[in-house]
Every structure is written in C-alpha cells, then in structure tokens.
Amino acid sequence: MTENALGIYEKALPQSLTWEEKFNLVHDLGFNFIEFSIDESDERLARLDWTREERQEFRDAMWKTNSRINTMMLSGHRRYPLGSKDPVIRQKSLEMMQKAIDLAVDLGIRNIQMAGYDVFYEEKTVNSRELFVENLKKCVEMAAKKMVMLSIETMDDLFLNSMEKIDYLKTMIHSPWLQCYPDLGNITAWPENNVAYDLETNVDNIAAVHLKDTKAVTPTSKGQFKNVPFGEGCVDFEGTLRTLARLDYSGSYTIEMWGGDNGDSDPLAEVRAAKQYFDDLFEKVGITQEPVVK
C-alpha cells in the first residue's frame, strides 16, 4: 500500500479562527496539513506583504501545534494574470510571484500551486498565451533560485485543462522546479480528456493532487467546477485513486472545499463527511494515510 499525506484546503474551515486554532482543528479532523490560500481578494493578497513579525507569529503557531503547510494555492493571478495585455498588470503578476516565493520560504512551504490561466477576465489571444509563457519562464527562474516548486493546476478553463498540456509547457521551460498539480475534478469534467491516460503518462510531473468533484462539460452545459458534493459529480474517484496507487504516487492529496468561505451553516460537518468519504476510498484502493502527529 502507498502512504500519502492528506490535507484540507484552508477555505473549507471556519474563517473566524486564529491560525493556532486552525492548526489544532486540522489535526482533530484527521488531516496532515492545511493548504494555504493567496487568492484574488484584497484580504488574502495582503498576506504577501506580511511583516517579519507576522510571519514569525504564523511560524510559531505552526511549531507550537506541530503542524505544517505543504502547499500554497496562489490563485491571485486570476486578478493579475501573467498574460495580461496591460504591462502594469503583468509587472504586478511578477511582483506577486516573487513575494509568494519569499513568503513560502519564510513559512516553510515547499510547493506553490499556480492557476493555469493565461488570462481570466480578458480576451484570450495568441499574444496572451505568448506573454504567459514568457512570464512563466521568469517565475520558474525566481522559484529555482529559492528552491521552491511551482506546480500548475489543471484548470476549469480550456487553456491548461490537462496534464498533457502542462507537460507540453515543460518542453519550452526546462526546469525541475516546474511541475503539475492535477485537480481530478477539473481533468474529469472535460470530455476530451482520457483521465487514466493523462495520469499514467504524466505521473512523473505530479507534485500534488487536488480531490474535488465536478459536473461535466457538455454541448449544453458549461459544467460545474465548484461546490459539487463528493459522489454527486462525474469524477470516478475509486478509479483515479486506484490508478495513482498502482503508479506508486506518494505525494500529497488535498481535499478542496469552500464551506468556510461560503459561510455554510456547518462547514465542519461537511469536512468530516468528506474525510470519511476519502477514508473509505483510500482503504478500498490500497492507500494508507500518513499518521497524524499532534
């Protein structure tokens, strides 16, 4: 049996808690780590400018609770994309990346998950793609200097919606510090993807895996990429997890949920139900979760 760490996305948890309370809660819920969020909101983007004292307070809370953060989800590039036609926004995107890398070093985060969009709110063009590739190369160079992994998530967007497409990017940007962060829901939702083949042919590029359910894109539907209860979407979790176990994937898994950020009435009940759902599947397919050390 393979052994893997299992984490929970920060946005699944009640947002009123202190960091020390969140770390303790993550252990109590049976997870090995929490995934840290730098999204496009002003509140979370401000974390990039934490003072030395704020960073120390965060590290102290981790140390006190015997906790860790495996991954940072840097989705703030939706707002400030690498491929923007506006040079001011592109410069902002690069500054964000340098700050995120420096913050990751200070907080002991090993892996920054990047959103695989050339642009999100602008029109996609050949030029937006080219600008994205040019600036991604700069980002990888920044990360390599600090020995921080950048891993691109497979997206709810045609631009980079499979590991195969991310692997092609790697033929243009040669670095061990650029890898892939597959989201099993996002990969599955796109009908053109052969999910098992995508996993098999790109397993060497997988830095971490997101566990999320989705509803499929069809000729009459744009699909649903968020807030789909586990087991009610199109993802064959048993099949994909069994495939990853056969391939001896030993990296981490993160359950991606938004209950806390959504203000749901009982987000912890949702998290507990999701944890049980994957506990049962892990046992069924031969995956052992890393022991939780409190």
pLDDT at 263: 86
pLDDT at 293: 86
Exposure on the CB side of residue 212, measured as CA atoms within 13 A: 28
Provide CB contacts within 8 A for 250, sequence distance 6+. Answer: 2, 3, 4
Domain boundaries, the chain: 3-288
pLDDT at 1: 74
pLDDT at 2: 83
pLDDT at 294: 80
Assigned superfamily of 3-288: Divalent-metal-dependent TIM barrel enzymes (3.20.20.150)
pLDDT at 3: 94
Chunked mean pLDDT (size 10), the chain, 294 residues = 93 95 97 97 97 97 95 97 98 98 97 96 97 98 98 96 97 97 98 97 97 97 96 98 97 96 91 98 97 89
Nearest-angstrom CA–CA distance, 129 and 50: 32
